[in-house]
């Protein structure tokens, strides 16, 4: 992962900078994130709110569910952030808004039980039925070396 980064929406009217290391990077398979991004899976990176500074423009917000606000560019519609009451100090950014998304290797799949049925994954990442916070993975990717940790 990278130390600090820049990003923007599709049209460039909302731009931001990030300081320091991210907290985590994960693929989210939940229905809400899939619908919000219009994709089969949404990849997010988590940062502390104080690590994020907007350098141009402002996001618009809508409440996608109780306790959840999603930020987007009002001009081009790019989904940019996820913020939730359960993570009061964090902001989760869509990795695709970063100038260098390839520097953010995902560490897990969350809400894997909600994935689209036709998605076959060949990575070695742990798969969590829900958030994964403090839980054991429900499975591992086919490339994971189980000799060191055993099957979950």
Confidence category of residue 122, pLDDT binned at 50, 70, 90? confident
Q: What is the rounded distance in angstroms from the CA atom of residue 131 to the CA atom of residue 4?
A: 25
Q: Is residue 150 in some structural domain?
A: no
Q: What is the CATH number of the domain that holds 58?
A: 2.170.150.70
Q: Is residue 90 in some structural domain?
A: yes
Q: Is residue 122 in some structural domain?
A: yes
Q: Is residue 19 in some structural domain?
A: yes
Q: For 3-13, how does the pLDDT look when each residue is reduced to its tens digit (9 = 90+)? A: 779 999 999 99
Q: Is residue 145 in some structural domain?
A: no
Residue 125 has pLDDT above 60, yes or no: yes
Q: What is the rounded distance in angstroms from the CA atom of residue 43 to the CA atom of residue 110?
A: 10
Q: Is residue 129 in some structural domain?
A: yes
How many folded domains does the chain comprise?
1
Confidence category of residue 91, pLDDT binned at 50, 70, 90? very high
For 41, the domain range is 5-140
């Amino acid at each position: 992962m990278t130390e600090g980064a820049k990003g923007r929406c599709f049209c460039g009217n909302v731009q931001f900078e990030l300081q320091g290391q991210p907290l985590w990077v994960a693929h989210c398979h939940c229905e809400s994130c899939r619908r919000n991004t219009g994709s089969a899976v949404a990849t997010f990176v988590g940062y502390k709110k104080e690590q994020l500074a907007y350098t141009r423009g402002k996001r618009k917000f809508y409440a996608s569910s109780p306790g959840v606000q999603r930020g987007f560019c009002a001009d081009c519609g790019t989904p940019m952030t996820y913020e939730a009451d359960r993570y009061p100090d964090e902001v989760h950014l869509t990795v695709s808004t970063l100038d260098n998304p390839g520097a953010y290797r995902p560490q897990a799949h969350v809400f894997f039980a909600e994935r689209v049925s036709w998605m076959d994954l060949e990575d070695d990442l742990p798969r969590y039925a829900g958030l994964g916070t403090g839980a054991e993975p429900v499975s591992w990717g086919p490339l994971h070396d189980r000799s060191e940790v055993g099957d979950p």
